[in-house]
Structure 1
């Protein structure tokens, strides 16, 4: 049975490499559910679906130049595994950077004098208040109410990726809005070191 499937995969892969959309569709339908289930062992389902779609799209777009030295099955599962590990590493790095930024900001605020804290607090509140409502709501829930992306997503009935996007956009806007205070923050950091 495995030999028949491998032979059929080779036939479909060959047809796909020659431009057969039908062959690609057949491979997509055959592997997509299995690959998503496998990928979901490592990442959230939404991320798993995106990873598998990217791999299948890459397979189609690079059909003429790719050389698969193992079975298609092994190749696809190995690709999913590596992309999942990369996604995990990327997300962990992003979380660490966000956490570090937040902690350093909190430490700066604790170490500055009362008037500097009061002024920075007022400016931050104004900047947060000027955010678009969806960004502001997600940002406040995450940064001030210590809710996770998943908790916020469930409460607002949107995907965690949407929450991630909103918070990243909010941070970009806040960096621009508070850019005039960067010299003060950097000076405080310098004296702290």
Structure 2
């Protein structure tokens, strides 16, 4: 079975391949995507994931998966949410983290709850289905850790004292919001 992963983010391609391999989806090949990026004008993670998966399927003719993910901070009413990748007005991860930390500078530790959310859409020409994973935690006061990408250096998963960027990739890939959504996708694919 082949799936096109509708992203130009090399980090996501590697992460998705590693997670699906560990979930034991037999004979699955995840292909990179070199097509155009559609306008993500949905108002939910699911809508944006479907927009990207539909575009990849239309461009390649191969079953496509896409994810839309972000960080939802409770005290900010769920923001940055679907705007996570461009929270600072750019797609610069460091600037996005810097802005979010500045916005939360005076927020007490007990009010810094946040969750990473990932919705994965599968479009294969006959079906369109979504799977959502949530990784609860809180926003740190400062960046820490060399691993990961995006908001990983400022996200402390529930039950841990390390940021997601301080976790070894295998540990993060077992716990993350993307892993939870991919586990649901893997279960679906195994039953096909």
TM over 0.5: no
> TM-score, normalized by length of structure 2?
0.25
Which of the two has higher C-alpha Rg?
1
Q: Which has the higher strand share?
A: 2
The structure with higher relative contact order (CA 8 Å, sep 6+) is: 2
TM-score by length of structure 1 reads: 0.25
